[in-house]
Amino acid sequence: MRDLSQGAVARQIFIFALPMLLGNVFQQMYNIVDTIIIGRYIGTDALAAAGASFPVIFVLVSLVIGITTGTTIIISQYYGARDYEAVKRAIDTAFIFLFFASILLTILGLVFIDDIWRLIGLPEHLVSDATLYFSVYAAGLVLMFGYNAISAVLRGLGDSRTPLYFLIISTILNIGFDLLFVLVFGWGIGGVAFATVLAQGIAFGLSVIYLNRTHQLIRFSLRGLTFDWDIFRKSLRIGVPTGMQHTFVSLGMLALISIVNRFGTNTIAAYTIAWRIDSFAAMPAMNFGLALTTFVGQNIGAGRSERVREGLKATLLMTTGISLAVTLVAWVFGKQLMGVFTTNQEVIEIGYTYLVIVSSFYVVFSAMFVTQAVMRGAGDTLIPMFITLIALWLLRIPASHLLSIRFGAVGIWWGIPVAWLFGFVAAYIYYRTGRWKRKAVIKHKPADE
């Protein structure tokens, strides 16, 4: 566990973010391996079906992820204030909530999946594969939530290394299971989903065993758990806006895929591959943003809010440099990256166009995400939610829809940077007001920045 309220700001954020970044590289690796195996060994239709399934899964879990984020922020602030008893109650509360939430979401997903396919206009010949992939994945939500809950709690305590170790294990297992279930057993797209669920389940089990033996604050056991309603209400106050933000994003992904669906299987497959690459490219900004959120939470909890501005500047410098490098890679090697996943030349061309357009604005995306991270770390998640709502539903989706009518699939991709530009400008203006400082769970006398 790391105390982020002491030491050199930039170094602390970088060292804390690096294991999370490496962890997400491994996490994206098994997502990418899934996509490669589906695209090369099962087929373009299966690839499109898996791509259509992911936004639906994201819709199911987004609100819960947001509430968990609220708990992580509370844990980081209590830990910064050295209130370890409150930290323990917050951890127990998060575990209990996530267990019941995962069961409910699995049931809802399995019951309404056919209605969702009709709502987004999924082509009929993709429904069978998409349903199989989604159903297997949804059945394993309790394992996914358990593993991610432990990772989130550890981040709130300043430990970003332990989740990395278990994620490496999960990634290696997932790749091995992919090859076994698809190439040897011939289970198809269902085997890919089952490989992911099984790998995360094993990683979750190993992490529980390890933590129960080594951590005093984190002991995962069904006996002796305490649900603290006061902490849960605080988690809801902070987490629900973030959860709603995730929900708006995931619903936006559904709306976007419904637009993409109109252009046929090759465009759906291209979007699926390019979005995987895009997600990989966005990881530095997202992980440095998560590190900054914990940094801000701990420093506000410790009464050292004067370090927040320095933390923001340092994080912006780091993510800007990384984003420029990633943009260059996408421009120069985009077609080769697409070619790793498929041999279909039309799919490669469509996906490369997406990468060139979207990657040109990675710097803007990074600045937006990092600036909003400061607000979340302070416990102010409502304004970022409204910014995301406006950017997504009043700008991105309408722009993608209207531009696609005029320019085809290329118009869909241009709606993405339009939303990012607004999101960054709005977030920075609100940051400059300083009002986010008033939302902290731990109250101290305000310090000038």
Tell me whether residue 191 is in a domain.
yes
Give the pLDDT mean for 5-25.
80
**How do residues 399-420 score in pLDDT, each as one tens digit?**
999 999 999 999 999 999 999 9
Does residue 382 form part of some domain?
yes
356 backbone dihedrals φ, ψ, rounded to 5°: -65, -45
- Kindly state whether residue 364 falls inside one of the protein's structural domains: yes
- pLDDT computed for residue 11 by the predictor: 82
Task: pLDDT band for 449, please (50, 70, 90 cuts).
Answer: very low
State residue 350's pLDDT score: 94
Residues 6+ apart with CB under 8 A from 137: 53, 57, 193, 196, 197
234 belongs to a structural domain? yes
Q: Has residue 276 been placed in a domain?
A: yes
What confidence score (pLDDT) does residue 439 get? 61
Question: How large is the average pLDDT for residues 285-298?
Answer: 85
Give the pLDDT band (50/70/90) at residue 2: low
* pLDDT value at residue 442: 57
Does residue 426 have a pLDDT over 90?
yes
Q: Which of 58-67, 137-146, 399-408 has the lowest mean pLDDT?
A: 58-67
For residue 66, pLDDT over 80 is answered with no
Task: Judge whether 343 lies within some domain.
Answer: yes
Per-residue pLDDT at 219: 66
Report the percent of the chain where pLDDT is more than 70.
94
**Predicted TM-score of the model (pTM):** 0.68
Could you tell me the CA-to-CA distances from 398 to 210, 252, 256, 291, 392 in Å, in that order? 48, 11, 10, 33, 9
Tens of pLDDT, residue by residue over 231-246, are 888 888 777 777 777 7
**Mean pLDDT score, 276-300:** 84
How many C-beta atoms lie closer than 10 Å to residue 8's C-beta? Answer: 11
What the block records as the tokens of 360 is 């040109």
What is the largest distance, in Å, between two alpha-carbon atoms of the chain?
63
281 lies in some domain: yes
381 CB contacts (<8 Å, ≥6 apart)?
A: 66, 69, 70, 238, 239, 240, 241, 242, 245, 375
Quote the domain boundaries for residue 32.
Answer: 9-439
Owner of token pair 């709005």: 426
For the chain, the 3-state helix, strand and coil shares in percent, each to the nearest 5, are 85, 0, 15
Q: Is the pLDDT of residue 221 over 80?
A: no
pLDDT surpassing 70 at residue 348: yes
Looking at residue 206, its pLDDT comes to: 87
What residues contact residue 28 under an 8 Å CB cut-off, 6+ apart? 276, 279, 280, 283
Averaged pLDDT, 361-390: 88
pLDDT for 447 equals 45
Please give the tally of structural domains in the chain: 1
**366 belongs to a structural domain:** yes
Residue 428, SS3? Answer: helix
